[in-house]
Amino acid sequence: MIVSMVTLAVGAELALAGAAATAIPIAIHLLSRHRRTPRLWGAMRFVLEAYRKHKHRLQLERWLLLAVRCLILIVLGLALWDPGFKAVASALGMAGQDRLLCLVIDDALSTRAAVQDMDGQTTRFEQLRARSIKMVAALHGTDRVAIWRSARPAGEVRVPAVFDRDAAIKALESMRPRHARPQIEQALQRVERYLDQAKDTPPRERVLLAVVSDLGPMSLDEAGVGALKSLSEKARVLLTPPPAGAVNTQVRSLETSNHLLVAGPGRGVSMDARATLRRFGEASTESSGLLRLEARLLPNGKPLATLSRPYRFAVGQSETAVNAQLPVTPGALAEVPDAGGMLEVVATIPGDTLEADNIARAVLELRRHVRVALVAGAGSPGVLDGAKWLTLALQPDSDERNPLLDVRRVAGASLDSGTLTGIDVVCVTEPNTVTDQGWESLARFTKNGGVLWVFPPSATSPSTWAGQYARALALPWEVALESQSHEDGGDWVVTTDPAATPVPEELGALAGDWQALLSPLRVSRRLNLSSTGPDARVWMSVEADGGARPWVVGQKVGHGYTLLSLSALDVAWSNLTTKPVFVPLLHEAVSSLLNRSVVGNRDVSATSGDGVELGGAWLGVESLKAVGGDETLWLVRTPEGGVRVREAVDEPGVYLPLATGGLSLTVSVDADAGDTRTLSREEVERRLSPVADWRWVDTDATDPFAEAQTAGLGLRMGWPLLWLTLALVLLETLLAKWFSHARDPNRPSIRASIWRVLHGGGE
């Protein structure tokens, strides 16, 4: 491996300085040996005799003292050359042997942002991946690497750790950025579990945790910092520096007023759409653009209608909205079959830094008519029973050739799943004729997204149908077996006080006239509902027994909804059928509840990264295909008997079954993950202040881990060598004293001095 030139240059300077300093004691030694002219005198005879006797010992002492003094300077120079030791050890493949690199790479939506570098235009993810590959390539033969990705849902890319660097690099090269938000804390928790469970995990000094991220605002939240703090006790933490932030404008959401459109043959439709736009990174200036709305027929994607609307962000404004009405002409709907179809509404803005969030979708179900089943008997000619009142209210225009509401009668005794196929709404006016099997069929129908409205029969005789109804739908309702009339023969008044009985959310269109519509209503006979449970909601109530008592109550059941009226559709029970509120009440309730059931069951929406649970209407569907794409989603059964997508969804788009019609899954990008701003280095350091012993990593260096290496040969020689220098200085002092052969009778010997130092006493 090529050694870092910068590191070696610094080390070379220190080494040369140490070599030069070593020459000083040698020069002093040589200079002190210059010859003098000998002059003999009598006493010198004894001195020369002693010198000749101890000559070899004295030379050995001088050379030993010289060697110690040279060694002091050499060791001191080597201690100052600690970076050079690291570089040389790395070059020789001896530094940090048996290391484990835990690599966490950010592949969230924001990493799709376009950036400009020396090679041209690329993306943040390409840069992060290149940094990751450099780190893997810098490992040695005995090092291992494991890789995790952090986009939701975080998971493993290459685990358990491998020695094969080429395989790890190929795994990185095969990665693609996702459309979800980052979940670095989840990835770090997976890393920690791996380190805890792996049997061959090295000591902390040889475990390197590298987090390669664009460090956006969502990357280092409180949970992520906590996970890093926990992991810092088991690994050396490394972070790549954040890139520069970028400006991004996105279509945050697209909403339509209805999810179900009804257009008979020869009729067009119009939909109200609201697109919400948001911008990141630049709110101090004004900006504007053009939003394009388009309606397409599914599954072929044929355009049906298109319009454009301007949008504008004022100074300091980060979010704005565009409202538009998108009409579709009858001619454009000519291809829609009688069984209905599906429309896709798409909102787009021109491309910018991050194109993946410049589009939003909404899927609407298009029907030629809504199918309503009336569970009742055949009826008598000329008699307005409950079923006829409902028929008149649901089809007030009496257009028998092309009704938008297809109303048909079904006998209660013959009610089963086959009878309810293709039905959207069931109104039961004679529940006493429904069998146990029929109630079970109605329960499945409701749980799968249907709307069920039950009315008592006109007969006043006791009946057990209410108990069958409550048991089949698992409702904690207790309905009296017998009806009751007003005690003095009068009528109960329907409550108009919104504080006692608020206007149902589903009837919001009638809220302005709600009190006026309820004022004329009078109730002569009703069933008593003594218990409703916490999930029930009272739609209408009557003033009875000193308070408001339920008269119409509803509850969500599975993906559908059920309503129970406590008075029959008979003028002997109430005057509801003869008052103006009856028709709008039925139409708004059916339309609103059917729209909600369509969204919750047949037209499912999800965000990238979600695990998607589907309703009972999806039973039998094995896979979904992306409209206009190659992506396929596979479905599996859940232990509870439901259906879910096998893996978390990511690729945005509309997914349809190959065979079953009327079902769709719309996947949108995680809009919050489109924040292309990044944290500054100072902000990152502030957030990571609780994390001990972490550092930035320079992936452009030949050895990115040079500053983090703490194990292996020559990784931290500086301090040990400094301590060795101090020991040599002490040794040189003692040897110089000893070899001087000077004796002072008033001064203790070296042995005595050492003894006193060690024992604190005398000899």
Q: Tell me the three-class secondary structure of 412-434, residue by residue.
A: HHHCCCCCCCCCCEEEECCHHHC
Both tokens assigned to 696: 């930035």
Task: Please name the amino acid found at residue 99.
Answer: R
301-327 per-position pLDDT tens digit:
899 999 999 999 999 999 999 999 999
Predicted local distance difference test score (pLDDT) of residue 47: 63
Both tokens assigned to 91: 């070059």
Both tokens assigned to 361: 């979708």
* pLDDT reading at 96 higher than 60: no
Question: Which secondary-structure segment (H or E) carries 256?
Answer: strand 248-256
Lowest mean pLDDT segment, chosen from 156-160, 213-217, 431-435, 709-713? 709-713
Q: How confident is the model at residue 18 (pLDDT cuts 50, 70, 90)?
A: low
Task: Please name the amino acid found at residue 372.
Answer: V
Burial class (CB in 10 A: 0-12, 13-18, 19+), 689: exposed
666-705 per-position pLDDT tens digit:
999 999 999 999 999 999 999 999 998 899 998 877 777 7
Q: Give the residue, 208 or 591, on which the prediction is more confident.
A: 208
Burial class (CB in 10 A: 0-12, 13-18, 19+), 663: buried
Question: Which secondary-structure segment (H or E) carries 710?
Answer: none
Both tokens assigned to 283: 């709110």
Predicted local distance difference test score (pLDDT) of residue 714: 42
- The number of beta carbons lying within 10 Å of the beta carbon of residue 284 is 7
Burial class (CB in 10 A: 0-12, 13-18, 19+), 145: buried
**Listed residue (502, 527, 531, 528) closest to 515, CA to CA:** 502
Lowest mean pLDDT segment, chosen from 49-58, 115-124, 264-273, 387-396? 49-58
Both tokens assigned to 222: 């409180």
Predicted local distance difference test score (pLDDT) of residue 36: 59
Helix ranges restricted to H, 302-432: 386-394
Task: Please name the amino acid found at residue 706.
Answer: A
277-305 per-position pLDDT tens digit:
999 987 789 999 999 999 999 988 899 99
| 3 state SS of 306 | strand
Both tokens assigned to 400: 């028998």
- DSSP classification of residue 481: S
* pLDDT reading at 597 higher than 50: yes
Cross-sheet strand order for the sheet of 547-557 = 405-410, 370-375, 425-428, 451-454, 560-565, 547-557, 537-544
> What DSSP assignment string belongs to 662-707?
S-EEEEE--GGGG------HHHHHHHTTTS-SEEE--TTSSSTTTT
**Listed residue (441, 417, 383, 290) closest to 571, CA to CA:** 383
Q: How confident is the model at residue 760 (pLDDT cuts 50, 70, 90)?
A: low
Asked if residue 643 lies in contact with residue 604, where contact means CB atoms within 8 angstroms, the answer is no
* pLDDT reading at 109 higher than 70: yes
User: What average pLDDT does this structure show over 515-535?
Assistant: 91
Size (the chain), residues: 763
**Is the overall model pTM greater than 0.85, yes or no?**
no
With both helix axes pointing from N to C terminus, report the angle between 718-739 and 44-80 in degrees, rounded to the nearest 10: 170
Q: Give the residue, 47 or 189, on which the prediction is more confident.
A: 189
Those residues with Cβ within 8 angstroms of residue 1's Cβ, 6 or more apart along the chain or in another chain: 90, 91, 93, 702, 703
Predicted local distance difference test score (pLDDT) of residue 594: 83
Question: Which secondary-structure segment (H or E) carries 554?
Answer: strand 547-557
Lowest mean pLDDT segment, chosen from 3-12, 179-188, 335-344? 3-12
Q: How confident is the model at residue 519 (pLDDT cuts 50, 70, 90)?
A: very high
Question: Which secondary-structure segment (H or E) carries 131?
Answer: helix 124-137
Predicted local distance difference test score (pLDDT) of residue 42: 60
Predicted local distance difference test score (pLDDT) of residue 715: 45
Predicted local distance difference test score (pLDDT) of residue 749: 59
Predicted local distance difference test score (pLDDT) of residue 719: 72
State the number of CA atoms in the 13 A half-sphere of 449 facing the CB: 23
* pLDDT reading at 111 higher than 90: yes
Question: Which secondary-structure segment (H or E) carries 269?
Answer: strand 269-280
With both helix axes pointing from N to C terminus, report the angle between 5-31 and 44-80 in degrees, rounded to the nearest 10: 170
Q: How confident is the model at residue 28 (pLDDT cuts 50, 70, 90)?
A: low
**Topology annotation, domain 96-245+678-710:** Rossmann fold (3.40.50)
State the number of CA atoms in the 13 A half-sphere of 188 facing the CB: 28
Task: Please name the amino acid found at residue 674.
Answer: G
CA distance 165 to 147: 11
496: left (phi over 0), alpha (psi -120 to 50) or beta: alpha
Helix ranges restricted to H, 138-221: 165-173, 184-197
Q: For 299-449, where are the E strands, in sequence order? A: 302-313, 319-328, 341-348, 359-367, 370-375, 405-410, 425-428
392-442 per-position pLDDT tens digit:
888 876 555 556 788 889 998 888 878 888 888 999 999 999 999 999 999
Asked if residue 108 lies in contact with residue 184, where contact means CB atoms within 8 angstroms, the answer is no
Predicted local distance difference test score (pLDDT) of residue 747: 57
* pLDDT reading at 660 higher than 70: no
Q: What is the mean pLDDT of the chain?
A: 85
Lowest mean pLDDT segment, chosen from 208-212, 315-319, 336-340, 497-501? 336-340
Asked if residue 216 lies in contact with residue 680, where contact means CB atoms within 8 angstroms, the answer is no
Q: What is the CATH number of domain 370-587?
A: 3.40.50.880
Domain spanning 248-364, CATH architecture: Sandwich (2.60)
Both tokens assigned to 409: 């009668």
CA distance 405 to 391: 9
Task: Please name the amino acid found at residue 660.
Answer: T
* pLDDT reading at 10 higher than 80: no
User: What average pLDDT does this structure show over 653-664?
Assistant: 85
User: What average pLDDT does this structure show over 607-616?
Assistant: 89
Q: How confident is the model at residue 30 (pLDDT cuts 50, 70, 90)?
A: low
Question: Which secondary-structure segment (H or E) carries 109?
Answer: none
